[in-house]
Amino acid sequence: MKCLVLMIISFVHVGVCHLNCRGEVPRIRNCDKVCDENNICKIRAALLLPKNTSFDACLPAVSPVLDLAMEDPVIKNTFPPWLSVEWLKHDVADCDAAYAVISAIDAFNDCAHVFFGPACDFALASVARIAKFLGMNGTPMLTTGGFTFDFVKPKQTCEDEFYMLVRAGPLGFKDLAYFIIDLMRHFKWQQLLLINEPESQLHVAGKSTCHLMMKSFANFLKTEEIIYTPWDTTSDGGLNYTENLKFYLGYKYTNSNGGASQFYLIHMLIDQ
């Protein structure tokens, strides 16, 4: 946490005379400064999360934790005594991308120096694409979200899509993809069937969590040249799971009697 805080402070102080990501001399609003004319110094941190408790990272769950953390002596001692922190809480309704952007703009108008959240991937992507243009030299963002593989790409220059974003979460979909890939390599398996319900696990990363996970898996399976077949369970072709499983598995994943089972499948389909 110490480095995080120092990082935020240094973000806020970074070279005022440099050009910003639009190649312009930054226009500084009075409130962009951490210390006002009376020398009262305050970091304004905006928390951009949904109120809706259907999402793991929601205001009712996260803000008490942050309040507790701010009371902790370790955190208190990290900040210089002349600097206080004010939390601005914004409801990103239903973790939706449009609400996330408008909340970020509201927070920017309220002179936020740093954003915490959003945590849902689509909402996060929308805000993280513009954060580099907000404020003097961009507004830093911290999130535990950002699971999709796009978020693990480099973010160190203005040209990078998600410049100003810091992912503080422990795990992304890339890590899960490589867990599967390592397993495949270990057992010398050649191909796999990805069974996926695209709109499930909404509470983790919001809309299309599983779809985004599958997209990340597909990306890295391709890179590692592992053959995969995707099965989206919401397009069932009028067949039940048992039938679809037979259809998708076919003979491809069996060994000695593979041909026989494929023949059986065709036979069954003709029979119907």
- CA distances 225 to 120, 153, 192, 220, Å, are 30, 20, 12, 8
Q: Does 201 bind ligand NAG (CB under 6 A)?
A: no
Residue 204 C-beta: closest distance to ligand NAG, Å: 12
3-class DSSP assignment, residue 159: coil
Window 58 to 77, contacts with ligand NAG (CB under 6 A): none
Of 32 and 96, the one with the shorter C-beta distance to ligand NAG is 96
How far, in Å, CA of 143 to CA of 166, rounded? 7
Which span (63-71, 98-106, 227-235, 237-245) binds ligand NAG, by CB under 6 A? 237-245
Q: Does 243 bind ligand NAG (CB under 6 A)?
A: yes
- CA distances 45 to 51, 58, 171, 226, Å, are 17, 16, 24, 44
| DSSP letter (8 states) at residue 236 | -
Q: Does 54 bind ligand NAG (CB under 6 A)?
A: yes
Residue 272 C-beta: closest distance to ligand NAG, Å: 7
Per CB under 6 A, the list member of 240, 256, 270, 271 interacting with ligand NAG is: 240
C-alpha angle 115-116-119 in degrees, rounded to nearest 5: 120
Q: Does 52 bind ligand NAG (CB under 6 A)?
A: yes
Q: Does 224 bind ligand NAG (CB under 6 A)?
A: no
**Site size toward ligand NAG, by CB under 6 A:** 7
Per CB under 6 A, the list member of 12, 59, 94, 221 interacting with ligand NAG is: 94
Which span (14-22, 216-224, 238-246, 251-259) binds ligand NAG, by CB under 6 A? 238-246
Of 240 and 255, the one with the shorter C-beta distance to ligand NAG is 240
Of 31 and 202, the one with the shorter C-beta distance to ligand NAG is 202
The count of C-alpha atoms lying within 13 angstroms of the C-alpha of 111, restricted to the half-sphere facing its C-beta, is: 14
Question: Which pair of tokens denotes residue 128?
Answer: 């993280």
> Does the bond joining 64 to the residue before it have cis omega, within 30 degrees of 0?
no
Backbone CA torsion sign across 139, 111, 122, 178: positive
Which span (119-127, 135-143, 150-158, 239-247) binds ligand NAG, by CB under 6 A? 239-247
Of 60 and 64, the one with the shorter C-beta distance to ligand NAG is 60
Q: Are 152 and 124 in contact (CB under 8 A)?
A: no
Q: Are 169 and 120 in contact (CB under 8 A)?
A: no
Interface residues with ligand NAG (CB under 6 A) are 52, 54, 94, 202, 240, 242-243
